[in-house]
Amino acid sequence: MSTPYAKLPAWADYGLIPLINLFVAFIVAGLVVLLIGENPFRAAAILVEGALGRGQAIAYTLYYATSFIFTGLAVAVAFHCGLFNIGGEGQAYVGGLGVALVCLAFDSILPWWLTFPIAIVGAAVFGAAWAFIPAYLQARRGSHIVITTIMFNFIAASLMVYLLVNVLKPAASQAPQTRTFLEGGQLPKLNFLFDAIGLTVRSSPFNVSFLLALLAAFLVWVLIWRTRLGYEIRTRGHSPKAARYAGVSETRIIIITMLVSGALAGMMALNPVMGDQNRLQIDFVTGAGFVGIAVALMGRSHPAGIVPAAILFGILYQGGAELAFEMPGISRDMIVIIQGLVILFAGALENMFRPSLQALFANIRPSSVGVEAKQGERA
Amino acid sequence: MDFFNTLVFLLDSTIRVSVPLLLAALAGLYSERSGVFDIGLEGKMLAGAFAAGAAAAVSGSAWAGLAAAVLIAVFLSLVHGFASITHRGNQIVSGVAINFIAAGSTIILGQAWFSQGGRTPLLGGDARFGAIQLPFAETLSDVPIIGDLYSDLLSGHSLIAYVAFLLVPFTWWVLFRTRFGLRLRAVGENPAAVDTAGISVAWLRYRAVICTGILTGLAGTYLALSQNAGFVKDMTAGRGYIALAALIFAKWRPVPVMFACLLFGFLDAFSIRIQGTPLPLVGQLPVQFMQALPYILTVILLAGFIGRAEPPRAGGIPYVKER
């Protein structure tokens, strides 16, 4: 047996290859822009300007990034265990129910800094609960988790519409949404941070859940690389056989990993529900659960990669909204294409450029690649 | 007699909604039997539907629409093959990517080319695959029961619907009675053995995903040119996943695939039919519950409460030649 690919230096493996893959994804996206008769370079300029040009824009970018950090971490944790949790969308949607129930119950009696921890627990528990059944079925009955989590996305959508229309909607209101939370159910904004460094932000939904997202990223790093549980998760992900041989209970690891993953996805709901809209609305997730897949793949399932990848998608979301104003032909759906291309090139085709890059490195500096020993083989 | 008419009506709509499921599930059958999992049926069907709607609107010919749909779906299949066969990428990830690319680009291109909010222009006449009346349907319609069954249930579907059902025995024949089929099944179970016999694993799998592309193109064409009069954004609405579930439920065998698709189709038709009417014992069911029912049932089926589904043994694993 031989390893199909020789080792590259770490900076090339974790920096250069993702960047090349991203670059190719953007070239193809540029071709799509060209196909609908717009100038891709002007589109890119408007996009970057719209996402980073002003303090206001940066605040919006980080608001979107907050959601993507949570969903990206959710997908990444499952990846480490060799599971593909495609159900982040549904878990976040149901997590929103947990947030809303906590806020509706406590917003009139507690200040926000007491409601917030309870809401975090609510979001995590509801998100985890939605991931539990697919996890259990995968662990005990062998049903493929990809299919079951997709099905649970559809079921979540129906369930939430039913609950919003028939249960949670105030009797006097027409719109299928809960009542607006009072002061105690609203997260404070972080706009003052921008004022402190001299940028002006009139109003933006950028709120304290961003700090929670960064904390979650750190805790995921601790969990995966610094705890016994994380070691077991990674072992199971690398080789289920080895994990079984080492006495790791597969059922337990699959279920725990999916509960963590679902809880992270559920916590994404804090950002839009408690931080921005202050009520539970239909379809508030708007695809953030799926963006998490692209974010996790681009960030190589490492929190240090996921945070910048999430900010990049925040730029695409915020810049894309501005772009839709300037170029009516390009709507938010352009982001879905870019998302797909990133998943394709950074995920499925991640090894496409590896052999040529390895050959290149082997030519420049043979010792850095370590291919000398294997010269007789094809790389 | 009223009950009988309702039943015929229900079965008739069952057939209509089953056709795209059947085509997509058979499409997945070729790919997955060869060891390439395909979660991108949804995206290929959607892209096919868009291409069919767009090409038929521009050319005015349903056949041009069909050709465009098959071309684009085969192209996406080849992308999937390129990622998962040639570059040994993760097949699930590649399928997900194709679904997103199709979902985004059909809306963007549809808006840019036709400016109708992501739909293609309404089609009529030759630009659609309309209903075909089977011979003697008119004359037999007066005969009780048999006439109703023949002229209302069997007659009056589009060409693609008949092709879809004919593809079931055809697929069985290809898989179990031809050399290609034997090799296809072998490469999904034990690619190393096929390789040892001197047959190219990659080329076999590529041919399998091309078959998948052709059939998903047909499924998309049916959606855009037969069931509807043009492309509407997101018109596949999860059918690709339901088809995948039907494929698993049928344990990757052609004839059970047909029955699984008919079952899911029946549920769909039934849920539309009983909307708002109270059922005995349970009373009136919420609309949302009926919409979620196929997905809930799929989960129950997948949980293995009705037989266990064993996928092709080499499914999802890229083949690496021993060196």
Give the gap in angstroms from C-alpha A222 to the nearest C-alpha of chain B.
26
Contact predicate B3/B144, CB 8 Å? no
Whether residue A77 is contained in a domain is answered as: yes
Query: Is residue A257 in some structural domain?
Result: yes
Whether A148 and chain B come into contact, CB under 8 Å, resolves to yes
Select from A1, A337, A352 the Cβ nearest to the Cβ of B101: A337
B132, containing H or E segment: strand B131-132
Identify which has the larger pLDDT, A63 or A166: A63
Task: Give backbone dihedrals phi and psi of A42, rounded to 5 degrees, phi first.
Answer: -65, -40
Contact (CB<8Å) A339/B303: no
Check: CB of residue A59 under 8 Å from CB of residue A309: no
Give, in order, the Cα–Cα distances in Å from A31 to each of A44, A336, B110, B212: 12, 15, 16, 26
Helices B254-273 and B159-177: crossing angle, nearest 10°?
Answer: 150
The answer to whether the beta carbons of residues A50 and A362 sit under 8 Å apart is no
- The partner residue sitting opposite B323, judged by closest CB among A2, A141, A143, is A2
- For residue B83, the chain A residues in CB contact (below 8 A) are 344, 348-349
- Quick check: A37 contacting B, CB < 8 Å? yes
Measured between its terminal Cα atoms, the distance across chain A in Å is: 13
3-state secondary structure A97-154: HHHHHHHHHHCCCCCHHHHHHHHHHHHHHHHHHHHHHHHHHHHHHCCCHHHHHHHHHH
Residue A203 zone, left/alpha/beta (φ > 0; ψ -120 to 50; rest): beta
Is residue A200 packed enough to be buried (19+ CB in 10 Å), middle (13-18) or exposed (0-12)? Answer: exposed
Most confident of A245-249, A352-356, B130-134: A245-249
pLDDT above 50 (res A257): yes
Report yes or no: A292 and A317 within 8 Å, Cβ to Cβ.
no
- Rg of chain A over CA atoms, in angstroms? 22
Residue A276 has pLDDT above 80, yes or no: yes
- 8 A C-beta contact, residue A147 and residue A86: no
Q: Mean pLDDT for each 10-residue chunk of chain B (323 residues)?
A: 79 91 96 92 95 92 94 96 90 91 91 83 81 74 73 81 95 95 93 91 95 96 91 88 86 92 87 71 73 81 69 82 68
Whether A210 shows a pLDDT value over 70: the answer reads yes
- Helix, strand, or coil here: B215? helix
CATH of the domain at A281: 1.10.3470
**Residue A23 covered by a domain:** no
Closest CB from B104, B302, B323 relative to A334? B104
Q: Is residue A220 part of a domain?
A: yes
Whether chain B has a CB inside 8 Å of the CB on A198: the answer is no
Q: CA–CA separation, A318 vs B95, rounded Å? A: 27
Q: Looking at the domain assignment, is residue A216 inside a domain? A: yes
pLDDT of residue A362: 78
> A152 contacts in B (CB within 8 Å)?
295, 299
pLDDT the model gives residue A2: 39
Encoding tokens for residue B183? 């090799």
| C-beta atoms of A158 and B288 within 8 A | yes
What does the pLDDT read at residue B65? 93
Asked if residue A370 lies in contact with residue A6, where contact means CB atoms within 8 angstroms, the answer is yes
Query: Does residue A89 carry a pLDDT above 80?
Result: yes
Task: Provide the token pair at A29.
Answer: 């996206």
Instruction: ipTM value, please give it.
Output: 0.89
- C-alpha distance from B241 to closest chain A C-alpha (Å): 8
- For an interface test with A, the pick among B46, B93, B115, B275 (most A C-beta atoms closer than 10 Å) comes out as B93
Better pLDDT: A45 or A364: A45
Q: Is residue A187 part of a domain?
A: yes
pLDDT at B309: 64
Distance from CA of A88 to the nearest CA of B (A): 14
- pLDDT for residue B261: 92
**pLDDT at residue A6, rounded to an integer:** 60
- Other CB atoms within a 10 A radius of the CB of residue B4 amount to 12
Each domain of chain B, given as residue ranges in start order, spans 19-133+158-273
Number of structural domains, chain A?
1
pLDDT of residue B273: 77
What is the torsional sign of CA B216, B227, B100, A39? positive
| CA B126 distance to own-chain centroid | 23
Which range of residues forms the domain containing residue A234? 39-328
| Candidates B88, B98, B292; nearest CB to A158 | B292
Token pair belonging to B240: 């690709």
Q: Which residue of chain A is at minimal alpha-carbon distance from B84? A: A348
From the list B83, B108, B238, which residue is nearest A344 (CB)? B83
Is A4 domain-assigned?
Answer: no
Q: Which of A333, A353, A354 to mutate to test the interface with B (most CBs of B within 10 A)?
A: A333
Contact B292 A137 (CB under 8 A): no
Q: Which of B84, B53, B99 is nearest to B240 (CA)?
A: B99
**Angle, to 10 degrees, between the axis of helix B41-59 and the axis of helix B201-221?**
50
Handedness of CA A321, A323, A324, A326 (dihedral sign): positive
Q: Is residue A294 within 8 Å of A313, Cβ to Cβ?
A: yes
- How, if at all, do strands B157-158 and B131-132 pair? antiparallel
The answer to whether residue A157 is domain-embedded is yes
- What is the per-residue pLDDT for B270? 81
Rounded to whole angstroms, the Cα distance separating B10 from B32 reads 32
